[in-house]
Structure 1
Amino acid sequence: MAERKLFAGHAVRRLRRGLALTQAAMAESLGVSASYLNLVERNQRPLSATLMLALAETFDFDPRTLSAGEPGGGEEAMRRRLADPLFADIDIDRSELQEWLAGAPGGAEAFARAFDRLGGAAALPGAGEDPGTAVRREVERWRNHFADLDAAAETLADELRIASSDLFGAMTERLRVKHQLAIRVLPIEVLVGVRTRLDLHARQLQLSEALDPPSRVFALARQLGGEARAEIDALVRGAGFADRVAERLYRRHLTGYFAAAGMMPYARFLRACEATGYDLELLRRRFGASAEQVAHRLTTLQRVGARGLPFFMLRTDRAGQVSKRFAGASGSPLVESAVPCPLLDAYAAFARPDERIVQLVELEDGSRWFTSSRCVAPPGGWAGAVRARFVVTLGLAASAAKGLTAARGLDFGGEAVPVGLGCRACTRADCPQRSAPPAGRAMLVNEREAGASPFGFAVD
């Protein structure tokens, strides 16, 4: 795939103003013309690798701040906000959005913060931003790729491989020797309602016997996340959360990211992905991970110079509620649906728990997406206890999915299922599955005619 062009005029302009330089002075230092720098700052030209290197060498500029500093999380994040039913009657095209981000980055960031705050405060008027929303926004700013954590995890994984081919055993020994922690697996009647517990008095990491092998390894890897404390602390400080709950949620996400990166080290995992055609079942077995852990990891493969395919991930329950959503670098509007479209075959995975359900779908804007869904169940407890069930869906632009093992035999040039972003955001007039009219459209009732949907509405 061709590399995605990087438009980062706001970041270059912020750097220049922080150094109190004119465009002419900065251009001279970088060895480019002032007119070219002006075009870069206005997002009329992408930031080239040569210019990025010159910025780094001349002004000690960290290129990683580019993805973290885009107003509102960048163009795709802003586009997903504007897909909200609230703006259904406003037509804002891509060029307008780009001009807004380039010409008024502060205003765009202010809009994003206000939108996110209002979205998080819907349940409790007057409340602040929901901590989960704040954390997701920060993860999205980094496109769920944290290079420093990946590097630290790869170093740890290499050291563990030298020690033993048994990852659980190697982690157990490292925790014993370096952290003075013993691992103890306890019966579920002892750890009632708890899967893991760190008992510092006994110097034990206690694991419930209900945990399956991938979950046990992940628990040890999370505990070893303390070895990346400096990297995690820096990311948490950079986020600048005012809410302590959001800060702790973000720290938990980063620790989990490190744990997954330790189980599935970046370079080895990406090589395996490319060699197997992203065979999800084979990847799961090769790295001793669960289906959900592999899905999470696939959304993070955005290392500069070694990018994987840009997957998104959704975790949905039977009621259509989304408990996890990672856009990664996919830019897919499907991630932002308040409730996923019922025409998605993901729901069929609940009835076929041992199968992977694949589908080719098409949104109203004409974009096509390949989805792959599987039912997962967290490790259980007592016999007869209520067991949770979720469907984890991985998605990818159809143009990038043709080489996937899971897509073999799929006709990418054939018919695709027409889906929307939830009934309140979808304006397909002939959908027989519609359960509500779209927001912002006048509802029409015709006593003499009945269509495929009982919810008629004005069409532009």
Structure 2
Amino acid sequence: MAERKIYAGHAVKRLRRTAGLTQVALADVLEISPSYLNLVEKNQRPLSAALMLRLAERFDFDPRKLGGDAPGGGVEGIRRRLADPLFVDIAIDKAEVEEWLAAAPAGVEAFARAFDRMGEGGAPSAASVEALPVMKVRREIERWRNHFPDLDAQAEAMADDLRIATGDLYGGLAERLRQKHQLAIRILPTDVMPDHVRRLDLHARQLQLSEMLDSASRTFHAAFLIAELEARAEIDALVHGAAFADRHAERLFRRHLTSYFAAAIMMPYERFLRACEASGYDPLLLQRRFGAGYEQVAHRLTTLQRVGARGLPFFMVRIDRAGQSSKRYTGASAAPMVEADSRCPLWAIHSAFDRPGEIAAQLVELEDGERWFTLNRTVAGQSAGLRAGQAIFSIALGLKADYARPLLHARGLDLDKGDAQPIGLGCVSCTRPTCAQRSAPPRGRALRFNERERGLTPFEFAAD
């Protein structure tokens, strides 16, 4: 797989200024010319592997911070904010945004935070419709590209111990809880736990699980408790490092990390990656081999970013029937569909509800010509019984078409020139003029009216 180019001039400039060095001095330390460093800082040259290694060696710098924390979400993040009607009379093109990022990354981040927090007239902006704690946690997860190597390493070692002791992971987890923590697992009927699927009763020394949980979910909840008990130090360190001022964000992030550890026990990194590569990243086969649920597998596929043993850069989005997203993981994909406030109705993540349980593969093309390959399928949410009802979600798992060739579901497709479904990032962000599915005009475009004609939609607009 071709290496992804990383443009992180803002991060290099911030590192240089923190160290109190001029461009000439840093270029000398890195054994490159000042002119080349200047191009790197202006994002006109990508960072080479050799340059990243020198930065890591000389400044004790974590290379994962390069490119993973662009101010305001980088060029696309700032352009989405500038598409707000507030700026309709200001023509700011992509090149100007790139120059702004290179010249004043801190100013860009300040603008992004202010815009997200407050809209016109002091009211919350569209970018802050989602609860602020959730957005803060998402930013921290994406800063790590949803890969936490210390948690993976510890979970992998624990999974190996359990595998040696017994071939039954659930049984091994139950025995570990009994012997090491004096906790038993008890399965309770729905009339006893009508509104919950899991409860920890410390008085009775029991992890109580609903009988409505399938085997994969029971294993996950047992592993989740193990993570709370035995990975506390590592999880505490990550939560402390995030430095959340918001207590709710801190607790949400802790829950994500605990779930991450539990999934890593069920799907240990090295074995899971080998199985992915051998099976063509077939999620159904991976489900059966690791005793996991489809959603658990999909999420795990977004985390495979171990240095020296990387998987394909997947993203994952989960929505309900109303199109509301409840999970969004960009991973290392940089997928604009994940960050978008809304989604295109032509994307098969929506039509998957019509064929529950089936995987619908779809090649899509964005307005900029970039192609993405996605797998779309419904999943059933956890249920505590008939009274609680059954939640249904649709999950899109995808990656750039350039990387999709090893996938089982992409075999036989012409990913470069074959038919692809044109989609946008939601109607208000899409400027395709002839889409019959359009339900709203794009932001920043003046509407045009001709009483003698009727186009495919009632929203005809100026080209620019």
**Match in the other structure for 1:104:** 104
Q: Which runs of 5+ in 1 are unaligned?
A: none
**Match in the other structure for 1:435:** 439
The one-character-per-residue Cα deviations of 1:132-185 (angstroms, maximum 9, x if unpaired) are 111112212222122222122212211221221111111111122222222111
DSSP 3-state at the match of 1:156: helix
The one-character-per-residue Cα deviations of 1:224-278 (angstroms, maximum 9, x if unpaired) are 2132222222221222211111111111111111111111111111111111111
State yes or no: 1:223 paired with 2:225: yes
Whole-Å separation in 2 of the counterparts to 1:89 and 1:60: 45
**Match in the other structure for 1:376:** 379
Deviates most, 305-314 or 51-60: 51-60
Whole-Å separation in 2 of the counterparts to 1:270 and 1:435: 42
How has the CA–CA distance of structure 1 residues 82 and 365 changed in structure 2, closer, same or farther, with 3 Å as cutoff?
A: farther
Does the 8 A contact of 1:343 with 1:419 survive in 2? Answer: yes
Whole-Å separation in 2 of the counterparts to 1:425 and 1:221: 41
**Match in the other structure for 1:323:** 326
Does the 8 A contact of 1:73 with 1:140 survive in 2? Answer: no
1:80: how far off? 5.7
For residue 458 of structure 1, the aligned residue among 449, 459, 462 is: 462
Paired AA for residue 449 in structure 2:
V
* TM-score (norm. length: structure 1): 0.91
State yes or no: 1:7 paired with 2:7: yes
1:390: how far off? 0.8
How has the CA–CA distance of structure 1 residues 128 and 319 changed in structure 2, closer, same or farther, with 3 Å as cutoff?
A: closer
Whole-Å separation in 1 of the counterparts to 2:287 and 2:103: 46
Paired residues in the alignment total: 460
Does the 8 A contact of 1:84 with 1:425 survive in 2? Answer: no
Equivalences for 1:30-429 in 2 at 5 Å? Answer: 30-66=30-66, 69-74=69-74, 77-78=77-78, 95-118=95-118, 122=124, 130-226=132-228, 227-383=230-386, 385-412=388-415, 413-429=417-433
Does the 8 A contact of 1:310 with 1:330 survive in 2? Answer: yes
How has the CA–CA distance of structure 1 residues 76 and 221 changed in structure 2, closer, same or farther, with 3 Å as cutoff?
A: farther
How has the CA–CA distance of structure 1 residues 233 and 403 changed in structure 2, closer, same or farther, with 3 Å as cutoff?
A: same
Does the 8 A contact of 1:42 with 1:103 survive in 2? Answer: yes
Paired AA for residue 139 in structure 2:
R
DSSP 3-state at the match of 1:133: helix
The one-character-per-residue Cα deviations of 1:188-239 (angstroms, maximum 9, x if unpaired) are 1111211111122222211111111111111111112132222222221222
Deviates most, 290-299 or 340-349: 340-349
The one-character-per-residue Cα deviations of 1:15-56 (angstroms, maximum 9, x if unpaired) are 333333444444444444444444444444433333333333
Whole-Å separation in 1 of the counterparts to 2:125 and 2:72: 23
Does the 8 A contact of 1:76 with 1:331 survive in 2? Answer: no
DSSP 3-state at the match of 2:66: helix
Whole-Å separation in 1 of the counterparts to 2:398 and 2:128: 36
* TM-score (norm. length: structure 2): 0.90
How has the CA–CA distance of structure 1 residues 52 and 382 changed in structure 2, closer, same or farther, with 3 Å as cutoff?
A: closer
Paired AA for residue 312 in structure 1:
F
Whole-Å separation in 1 of the counterparts to 2:86 and 2:413: 36
Does the 8 A contact of 1:196 with 1:219 survive in 2? Answer: yes
Does the 8 A contact of 1:67 with 1:143 survive in 2? Answer: no
Paired AA for residue 102 in structure 2:
A
Deviates most, 139-148 or 24-33: 24-33
Deviates most, 30-39 or 379-388: 30-39
Whole-Å separation in 2 of the counterparts to 1:209 and 1:393: 29
Q: Which runs of 5+ in 2 are unaligned?
A: none
Deviates most, 124-133 or 59-68: 124-133
Does the 8 A contact of 1:443 with 1:458 survive in 2? Answer: yes
Does the 8 A contact of 2:193 with 2:384 survive in 1? Answer: no
How has the CA–CA distance of structure 1 residues 343 and 25 changed in structure 2, closer, same or farther, with 3 Å as cutoff?
A: closer
The one-character-per-residue Cα deviations of 1:318-355 (angstroms, maximum 9, x if unpaired) are 11111111111212221133232111222222221131
DSSP 3-state at the match of 2:394: strand
Whole-Å separation in 2 of the counterparts to 1:79 and 1:269: 37
The one-character-per-residue Cα deviations of 1:417-448 (angstroms, maximum 9, x if unpaired) are 22111111111121111111112222233222
1:84: how far off? 6.3
1:127: how far off? 10
Query: Percent identity over the alignment?
Result: 66
DSSP 3-state at the match of 1:338: coil
Q: State the Cα RMSD in Å.
A: 2.8
1:369: how far off? 1.4
Deviates most, 123-132 or 346-355: 123-132
Deviates most, 243-252 or 33-42: 33-42
1:282: how far off? 0.2
DSSP 3-state at the match of 1:373: strand
Does the 8 A contact of 1:116 with 1:133 survive in 2? Answer: no
Does the 8 A contact of 1:73 with 1:141 survive in 2? Answer: no
Whole-Å separation in 2 of the counterparts to 1:166 and 1:371: 33
